[in-house]
A and B are shown apart, each in its own frame.
Chain A
């Protein structure tokens, strides 16, 4: 290959930029489009070039960069390494480094979700392009035709000759430019385009192995710096003083007693009020003092959680947002419903839920006088956060760098960039000219972060004369859960993207209610599912445009729609007098569901019989027991879950005694990590089902801490059996970090019905709600 020559590798461009005396590397970079010209300036031929996707070094080590971050899924440190190693044909141990998230050191942007669904295709394709490029280099160096070359353990060999990856790139500066689409700082980031040949799943040796997560040891030993651990010289600690209601404006600011808190200082930017101090504890105390003396306008614009479902049913304008139809819709449900003698018609409710990370949001911003902004934070979408910050400041995105660190899992809250503290830190640093660390207190994180939307679903199921489902109708209603406006920018009166509404350019912010729960009962002849979105509750009424801001949360929207569907299917099975697993087997059309349901029946110790159980009872001091099932299809993953519960009617206590879950994610990339993800997801799901509901009055969220928003404790952990039932022929990876949390609630509700004979059409299964359900 001459220096000037560029070789096309399935549409990517391989070029040699020069020869080097030592080292050498192949750098896989992004083909920047004109709109990203400013970002292209940051690329270089240096082996640490920030725009590179994959780097093959002369010492046979490989560096991987991804704009995605880890929030406990482990995928970027485990599955991503495995998938790249697999495509390259190199050993896993060669994947020495993963750089993630930082906007100046990673190439692709986009959100940390669908890690093994869509996102991993970027790296997989980049690795495939790279392997093909290296094969071309080998063809030239070894003089062996491409067709005669094979790769094993990082060695390319053919016709008795061989070379390692490192030998093929050594002494040169090689660049492979791969084609992409999308916008680096857009919501979805960049997508690798083209179709390099991907290694067939049948040849996998690294994907499918139970590798440990190498990021665990440095975390456990205390070596890994967490987002809250970052310090800068001259840094001030800040505590914001948020308004007393979700619609209040500032009237007057309280004072700091300087004798008591000599180093503390007050900052006011519009309705954004904060106290800063070099001493964190002083900042905490002085902020409490200021809050006591600060006056806000009164506001009452929320329905209160006790009136929430009446509000959703009777007061929300569901015509403001275009209706979405389910992709599985078919036939004519109206005719089938009119003909049926046995109809289930029921309404199901889900409360607002909190992401509720164990650590409240924390960020450290450093805004220099030259206008450059560096934000140290943790985010599921750092490039989009960069866009939001530049928009707020009215500056170029080129001025903004977001650096990311491990932080508390918050399950989707920042997949549109921000979790709460980021923009406040930037605004305070700009105001004060020094680095500022904003740490929200527990109550800030409960009251001023977004939440997962409440929802209400009306389901109608008609049975035919044989007890089979003739028609299924669902109307799912709820606010749309994707408000990515930074709260500090709103309070400060600075530019943000719009709140969720139809006019938004990005579909994810259009306030529409997607029918997200994939229809799985293919044998049902008539299906009609619709999704109705709405403007966020209280937002239009709030003088500051806040109200109850919503955001996607683990298994978003599908969580809200699968609960009503699966509980209704279990109720319909009871109406038909058929065992609920058998009833599902009778209606699914996909062999993979038949396989996991059959497996679940044996793994769960399931009693095949109709519900409710023969000894069911809705009164008394003795516990009654029941079994319930739920299924779901999400991200190429097939899920079936059984819960066994004990209900004590007199006390309203519901205890989950056993949970069995069978999961088929197609190709399992890493069974060890998948098992841990599924176990943990199930427990989060039990937590949501048993305990969780965001309480609020007409003014504000009243869930302020772990006493007013309880979550599952260790003592409540049931026996959990996770059964991995892969389906390798699917040729596709499914995901495990979502879904599992959605299966528990409908299975618990079905088990509650089995035990008591009373339908459970809402959660949480708190004693007061349970007693009301049993009395109805």
Chain B
């Protein structure tokens, strides 16, 4: 039996060590925001943060995780609250600024890719608080194992969303 640290809590898991993290999160831990897109690390729908770095959970066996901290979109509000030292009451009232920006800018079309997009953008904004369009495009195209793909074509909305998220984060997360 192995232990995984997911969104601030430790979980003992019974899945076999070669099982990709995606299947363990979804089927054993009921963490459903990482989505199955390709199983080949080609699209980014399954992205999660591993100690703050974006990885593809569909090809990462749990044996390779060790004691690193996994963050999914479900855990973004808690991650933000911890980073900002928010009280539980304050934390309960808000989502992560990236999520709030995605809502404010009405980024999703169907939305299936956005869980991975928000993970990648969170990674980006934790390193570059106010990125340019070029930096955003690089982050979502060439910085990871593959581009983060959106079939609906929400890329222009994503650019707006990242700039809004950067603005919100610079103001401490509120409008």
Q: Is the CB of A222 within 8 A of B102?
A: no
Q: Is the CB of B141 within 8 A of A713?
A: yes
Q: Is the CB of B153 within 8 A of A280?
A: no
- Chain A 697-720, CB-CB to B under 8 Å as 1, else 0, gives 000000001110001111101001
* Nearest CB of chain A from residue B30's CB, rounded to whole Å: 8
The contact of A441 among B20, B39, B153, by CB within 8 Å, is: B39
The reply to whether the CB of B63 lies closer than 8 angstroms to some CB of chain A is no
Most A Cβ at <10 Å: residue of B95, B112, B157: B112
Query: Nearest CB to that of B153 among chain A residues?
Result: A683
The reply to whether the CB of A408 lies closer than 8 angstroms to some CB of chain B is yes
Q: Is the CB of A228 within 8 A of B147?
A: no
Q: Is the CB of B153 within 8 A of A712?
A: yes
Contacts of A705 in B (CB 8 A): 38, 40, 42
Contacts of B107 in A (CB 8 A): 216
* Nearest CB of chain A from residue B71's CB, rounded to whole Å: 12
- Beta-carbon contacts under 8 Å, B122-175 to A: 136-138, 140-142, 146-159
The reply to whether the CB of A91 lies closer than 8 angstroms to some CB of chain B is no
Contacts of A217 in B (CB 8 A): 103
The reply to whether the CB of A680 lies closer than 8 angstroms to some CB of chain B is yes
The reply to whether the CB of A607 lies closer than 8 angstroms to some CB of chain B is no
Query: Nearest CB to that of B136 among chain A residues?
Result: A714
The reply to whether the CB of A213 lies closer than 8 angstroms to some CB of chain B is yes
A715 in contact with B110 given A216-B102, A706-B38, A720-B156 (CB within 8 Å): no
A406 in contact with B32 given A221-B99, A684-B153 (CB within 8 Å): no
In whole angstroms, how far apart are the Cα atoms of A193 and B28 in the complex?
50
In whole angstroms, how far apart are the Cα atoms of A683 and B149 in the complex?
12
Contacts of B37 in A (CB 8 A): 358-360, 442
The reply to whether the CB of B73 lies closer than 8 angstroms to some CB of chain A is yes
The reply to whether the CB of A71 lies closer than 8 angstroms to some CB of chain B is yes
Query: Nearest CB to that of A409 among chain B residues?
Result: B110
Query: Nearest CB to that of B102 among chain A residues?
Result: A220
Contacts of A711 in B (CB 8 A): 149, 151
- Chain B 93-135, CB-CB to A under 8 Å as 1, else 0, gives 0010001001100111111111100100000000000000000
Interface residues on B, range: 35 or more
Interface size on A, residues (CB 8 A): 56
The reply to whether the CB of A38 lies closer than 8 angstroms to some CB of chain B is no
Among the stretches A116-124, A159-167, A328-336, A671-679, the one at the interface with B is A671-679
Contacts of A71 in B (CB 8 A): 110
The reply to whether the CB of B47 lies closer than 8 angstroms to some CB of chain A is no
Contacts of B142 in A (CB 8 A): 715
Contacts of B26 in A (CB 8 A): 229, 280
The reply to whether the CB of A72 lies closer than 8 angstroms to some CB of chain B is yes
- Beta-carbon contacts under 8 Å, A214-240 to B: 216-217, 219-222, 225-226, 228-229
Query: Nearest CB to that of B19 among chain A residues?
Result: A281
A715 in contact with B138 given A281-B23, A409-B152, A706-B146 (CB within 8 Å): yes
Q: Is the CB of A225 within 8 A of B32?
A: yes
In whole angstroms, how far apart are the Cα atoms of A687 and B110 in the complex?
17
Closest 7 CB pairs of A and B: A683-B153, A72-B109, A409-B110, A72-B110, A680-B153, A715-B141, A713-B147
Give the interface of B toward A (CB within 8 A): 15-16, 19-20, 23, 26-27, 32-33, 35-40, 42-43, 45, 72-74, 77, 95, 99, 102-103, 106-115, 118, 136-138, 140-142, 146-159
